[in-house]
Amino acid sequence: MPNITACPLDCYDACSIVYEDGKLKGSKVGDTRGFLCPHMNNYTDYETIKTPRYKGVEIGMDEALSHLSEILKESEKDKILHYKSHGNFALMQEVTEHFFASYGATLTDGTLCDGAGEAGIIEGRGSNKNMPLSEIAKSEVVIFWGRNPHTTSSHILPLIKGKTIIVIDPHETKIAKMADLYLQIKPRGDIYLAMLLSRFLHIEGNCDEEYLDKYASEYEDYYELTQSIRIKAILDDIDISLGQIGDFLSLIKDKKVAIVCGVGIQKYRDGADVIRAIDAFGVMLGLFGKDGCGVAYLGNSKEHITSPFHTKAKRVSKVDTKFENYKTVFIQGANPLSQMPDTLRVKESISKVENIVYFGLYENETSQVADLIIPAKSFLYKDDVRTSYSHNAMMFMNKIADTPYGISEYDLSSYLCKEFDIALETEGFYLKYFKNFAVVMMDGVLHVEGREDVVYKDGFDTDDDEFLFLDEVDLKMINNDKLNLLTSKSPKSLNSQFSRDKHVYIHSALGFVEDELVTISSDAGSVEFKVKLDNNLRKDCVLIYSGTKGLNNLTSSQHSYEGKCAIYQENRVEIARS
């Protein structure tokens, strides 16, 4: 069997993997640079579900599939929901949507991750083409704006040695401690900072006017909008000084700059505007279309790839899904009882579903309430193809071993398509179809054909090729006694997969002690956690890592204004001794 595959986790780096002597190792070719992160280094230590279950009783796979078929036949088509997320990230994963969409079931849209930011990018640029890692490698200054690369994208780290580093983050992370300039901004302050940076850049006469005249000619109007900010009051509010703004602008002057954004800055109702304002600052600097310059967020991992699957269907949001409207809910690669906002509502809603089918790798809150559990096959035991939202490589995920446990997404869909007389090509057909989008680059790495490394060289993808600036913003910081909730990614888990955290992290100035039991409350609910003290946090913040049990009792199921995205950090919280 071939020994080359790729990491299936929902992560920027999309590493290429070599399987040698029974071990998973990072490929030395391309952006993986010979190393994997702790999630993948310990991947095989985490026990997966091996045996299907129906109503709590272990059964064989054939029996499980026939239960699934019966359940679907007994449900009216418009009472079936397919709820899929990205616990397993690869192109063949969509084959299940092909079955459910063709059958007439309802699918989901919206996002628990990056959708608000993406909406802001598309509004400004007309599309979401990302600055890939290979271009960040050519920059002279890297600004990590709410991104913690040691946890979420460690393969950037070898690329930034010797560069000037600026970090903007309420949490003084490892990269913040290494930075040439660190701004410990107050949460929700990012849009103000981005607009003020554009304003001062303009005042100093350092905008790239030649570029702006060509590709963003409304920049004077945007400058006027930035003048609606009261400088002193807002700087005080967001905890940034004029001196820091000056230092920031002098560090980036006449340099190749990469602005690398994380998702935390857009987990608010106005998340689209936040990223659009950061994009606007990049435009004022003339960062687009040039080597080693740009704004990196999450690009579209399927850019230049068309789907062979039928996925047109009625869709409902995966942020506030009303499960009670369905008789049968098929959940794939997702753990909604932990990861959807407003857990109490989700619990209540899901408890009214007659048939919950869970198709996944690990036991979790959702598998515990499922009527039918169908174990999936991990990436080690099936063929697939993956792309990335942070670089342009395409990786073939070759099966590297056989297993008697679980079923692949293709085999499950193939069974269902036969049962319900729905057309489906062979697995080999689809794999070949996806692989045909790859071209070999000079360094031997496969890339998605047509994807550019330097994006927006000839202007933007808007109607007139020009960047569309924000023309109004709702500027109001909320200053009250409540604390800001941060829901960053944990170094030990990927959302609810792997080793999940159990603590709340706070600054010692709040007066609590290590391991003390506290109750954190928001408008949505309250939860008890043990305290871990972390003086790298701001005193007005409470950090509960994504994937921590109970976190989403505190979050509400409202959407961002744009992008149908969950807004985990919108709710403010209070802390009290339990």
Contact residues for ligand SF4, defined by CB under 6 A: 7, 9, 11, 13-15, 36-37, 39-40, 154
Smallest distance from ligand SF4 to CB 89, Å: 9
What Å distances lie between residue 518 and 171, 484, 526, 575, CA to CA? 21, 16, 10, 7
Cα torsion 264, 269, 272, 274: sign: negative
Q: Which two tokens stand for residue 425?
A: 């090509």
Q: Compare residues 154 and 560 and give the one whose CB is closer to ligand SF4.
A: 154
Q: Compare residues 88 and 198 and give the one whose CB is closer to ligand SF4.
A: 88
What is the distance between the terminal CA atoms of the chain, rounded to a whole angstrom? 56
Q: Compare residues 133 and 165 and give the one whose CB is closer to ligand SF4.
A: 133
Smallest distance from ligand SF4 to CB 27, Å: 10
61: number of Cβ within 10 Å: 18
Smallest distance from ligand SF4 to CB 415, Å: 29
Smallest distance from ligand SF4 to CB 458, Å: 32
In the chain, the amino acid numbered 576 is A
Number of alpha carbons in the 13 Å side-chain half-sphere of residue 542: 30
Q: Compare residues 37 and 284 and give the one whose CB is closer to ligand SF4.
A: 37
What Å distances lie between residue 470 and 264, 289, 372, 375, 473, CA to CA? 20, 21, 48, 47, 7
Q: How many helices (H) and strands (E) does the chain have?
A: 18, 28
Smallest distance from ligand SF4 to CB 177, Å: 21
Q: Compare residues 146 and 149 and give the one whose CB is closer to ligand SF4.
A: 149
What Å distances lie between residue 492 and 9, 42, 363, 488, CA to CA? 13, 10, 17, 12
Q: Compare residues 130 and 413 and give the one whose CB is closer to ligand SF4.
A: 130
Q: Is 80 helix (H, G, I), strand (E, B) or coil?
A: strand
Please tell me the distance from the alpha carbon of residue 21 to that of residue 25, in angstroms, as a whole number: 10
Smallest distance from ligand SF4 to CB 297, Å: 16
Q: Compare residues 349 and 387 and give the one whose CB is closer to ligand SF4.
A: 387
| Strand ranges, E, within 441-561 | 446-448, 483-486, 493-494, 497-498, 503-506, 517-521, 526-533, 541-543
Report the Cα 442 to chain-centroid distance in Å.
Answer: 30
Smallest distance from ligand SF4 to CB 167, Å: 20
Smallest distance from ligand SF4 to CB 260, Å: 15
Q: Compare residues 90 and 376 and give the one whose CB is closer to ligand SF4.
A: 90
Please tell me the distance from the alpha carbon of residue 275 to that of residue 145, in angstroms, as a whole number: 10
